[in-house]
A = this chain, B = another copy of it.
């Protein structure tokens, strides 16, 4: 497995692969791999000749009050896991390589970033769009794979690729979950045992929303109210948002149908977790009693 820390070397490798008519798949990550990341890589492995994974905790998508410094990192373990699933190259740049002195260019995707995490985390998606565009220009992939856990992020990338005419296929992969339903996240490492129990409120509340929808409920306010009440019945939880939105525009809607999704952001103790459910999709989570 190749490990590149230089932009120039990674870019030269990508250009040389393209010259040889090889296809490139790309999974951008912030590292500290769990099964969710590995599933993205397994999908990428199937879809191209050469599979690149980037590991970079991007400072421009964190606000000054967020967890940039404490974000978990384990490069050695990550490389070992990447190699086991057949990754060809890990791109592992440092901040000086990505944001050199005088850096000043940013990408705004406007409408799909107004709600949900875009509202709660000002500047977050500007950082995400910018770093992804940079990584796309460096890795030059034919196909890129993102998880649906960050559903709004997926919409941001889809919109940016379309608007800026980037010739890259985007695959969104279903959220990988722990056996009890908790969405996998590097931030789960922050949870105490008690918080870990309360964190189940997120996925369970989505199973409740699914059940209500399948029972014929199409009123968004009703579903949001029941989901909210269910989450609030768990200790240590503090809701940032519970919202139903159109899956393409990410605009809030009151009418639930199969082109809408319910998104949650909940602080459990000091840890902010997100999860979501697209109405009509499968969801392998037991419904609360």
Are A11's CB and B137's CB within 8 A? no
Find residues 91-145 in chain A having any chain B CB closer than 8 Å to their own CB: 102-112, 129-130, 133-134, 137-138, 140
**Shortest CB distance A222–B (Å):** 30
Q: How far is the CB of A259 from chain B (nearest CB, A)?
A: 15
Q: Contacts of A215 on B, CB cut-off 8 Å?
A: none
Are B111 and A164 within 8 A (Cβ)?
Answer: no
Chain A 220-245 against B: per-residue CB contact (8 Å), 1 yes, 0 no? 00000000000000000000000000
Tell me if A84 is interfacial: C-beta within 8 Å of chain B. Answer: no
Separation of A114 and B166 alpha carbons in the complex (Å): 28
A229 to chain B, nearest CB (A): 35
Q: Is A18 an interface residue (CB 8 A)?
A: yes
Contact of A7 with B by CB under 8 A: yes
Interface check A283, CB cutoff 8 A: no
Given known A-B contacts A18-B18, A19-B21, A21-B19, A134 and B164 have beta carbons under 8 A apart: yes
Is B165 within 8 A of A7, CB to CB?
yes
Contact call B165/A134, Cβ cutoff below 8 A: yes
Q: Is A281 an interface residue (CB 8 A)?
A: no
Residue of B nearest to A133 (CB): B164
Q: Interface range on chain A: under 10, 10 to 19, 20 to 34, or 35 or more? A: 20 to 34
How many copies are assembled? 2
| A15 interface contact, C-beta 8 A | yes
Cβ-based interface call for A159 (8 A): yes
CA distance A167 to B139 in the complex (A): 11
Structural contact, B167 and A105, CB atoms closer than 8 A: no
**Cβ–Cβ contact A105 & B107, under 8 A:** yes
A167 touches B137 (CB 8 A): yes
Chain B residues whose CB sits within 8 angstroms of the CB of A166 once the complex forms? 137
Taking a contact as CB atoms closer than 8 A, the residue among B104, B109, B137 that contacts A110 in the complex is: B104
- Tell yes or no: A163 within 8 A of B by CB: yes
- In Å, the complex CA distance between A7 and B164 comes to 11
- Interface assignment of A52: CB less than 8 Å from any CB of chain B: no
Closest to A160 in B: B105
**9 A-B pairs with the lowest CB-CB distances in the bound complex, closest first:** A105-B163, A104-B110, A137-B165, A104-B111, A105-B109, A134-B165, A138-B165, A137-B166, A106-B108
| Residue contacts A-B, CB under 8 angstroms, 9 given | A102-B159, A102-B249, A103-B163, A105-B107, A106-B107, A107-B108, A108-B108, A130-B164, A137-B167
